[in-house]
Amino acid sequence: MRHWTLPDTHNIRDLGGYNRQAGGTTQWRRILRGEALHPLTGESLATLVADDLSLVIDLRGPHETAVTSHPFIGHETVSYHNIVLFDALAPIAMVRQPFDMAERYCSALDHCGAQFATVFRAIGQARPGMVLFHCTAGKDRTGVVAAMLLATAGVSHADIVADYALTASAEGLIAQLRARSLAAGIDADHVERMLASDAVTMEAFLSCLDTAHGGIAAYLARIGLNAAEIDALTDRLCA
């Protein structure tokens, strides 16, 4: 099941089921990607816990986490880590000047190596069960992390791009973000550019990862992950 059909979320997705170039597929119910989790009701929380959620990684910054409470802080069985990743990819309401989203993604590779390493170590070292990482919309910061995880697993660029583009199907979430941004006085054209999950954006990011950084394995080594840590990360999604 690619999309998790919880009644109060729009963009929680499973990274399982993708073919690996070395053979086999990524495993279902290992790693989930998603949007902000504060709307979750008790029923949805119970569903995730019953499906053995063990770790939630919140990629949002303090200007976001201060606005809403998080349902998994202090949870009895689910660990919560707040690892702030690239505030420049913050929600649309925080960014009012036009820019190239692919350039922002590529900039994250140059400037957020320590944060990426922390995220990937947390995933690789998590206790058995599902890991869910998220930002606000589940598109940009979450999309970059998901792309790098899938690349580590040996998933094709075409499938990574397709996974990224699936956020466009989260119409309810996009409508909410659009309405909120327009109400804040943000230019309509800028809003649409920010909300887009165009294939060309992820294609440009993957090209940057390969050409400027030597590919995902070289990048992970450069930011400090050793072979055992990379193996643990791969096993989390594939073994």
Residue 7 placed within a domain: no
Residue 5 placed within a domain: no
Residue 88: per-residue pLDDT:
55
Residue 55 placed within a domain: yes
Write out the two tokens for 52: 């053995």
**DSSP codes joined into one string, 80-91:** EEE----GGG--
Residue 2 placed within a domain: no
- Which residues span the domain enclosing 228? 13-88+96-238
Q: How many domains, in total, are found in the chain?
A: 1
Least trusted range by pLDDT, from 26-35, 44-53, 60-69, 173-182: 173-182
The pTM for the full model equals 0.92
pLDDT band at 14 (very low <50, low <70, confident <90, very high): very high
**DSSP codes joined into one string, 92-128:** GGG--S---HHHHHHHHHHH-HHHHHHHHHHHHHPPS
pLDDT band at 122 (very low <50, low <70, confident <90, very high): very high
Residue 7: per-residue pLDDT:
87
Residue 107 placed within a domain: yes
Reply yes or no on whether the pLDDT at 130 is more than 90: yes
Alpha carbons 161 and 83: distance in angstroms, whole number? 24
Residue 3 placed within a domain: no
Over residues 140-156, mean pLDDT: 98
In 3D, which of 193, 105, 92 has the Cα closest to residue 148? 105
Q: What's the CATH code of the domain at 72?
A: 3.90.190.10
Q: What would the pLDDT profile of 190-238 be if each residue is shown by its tens digit?
A: 777 777 778 999 999 999 999 999 999 999 999 999 999 999 999 999 9
Q: What would the pLDDT profile of 64-103 be if each residue is shown by its tens digit?
A: 898 888 999 999 999 999 999 986 555 555 555 667 889 9
Residue 179 placed within a domain: yes
Residue 134 placed within a domain: yes
- Give Rg (Cα) of the chain: 17
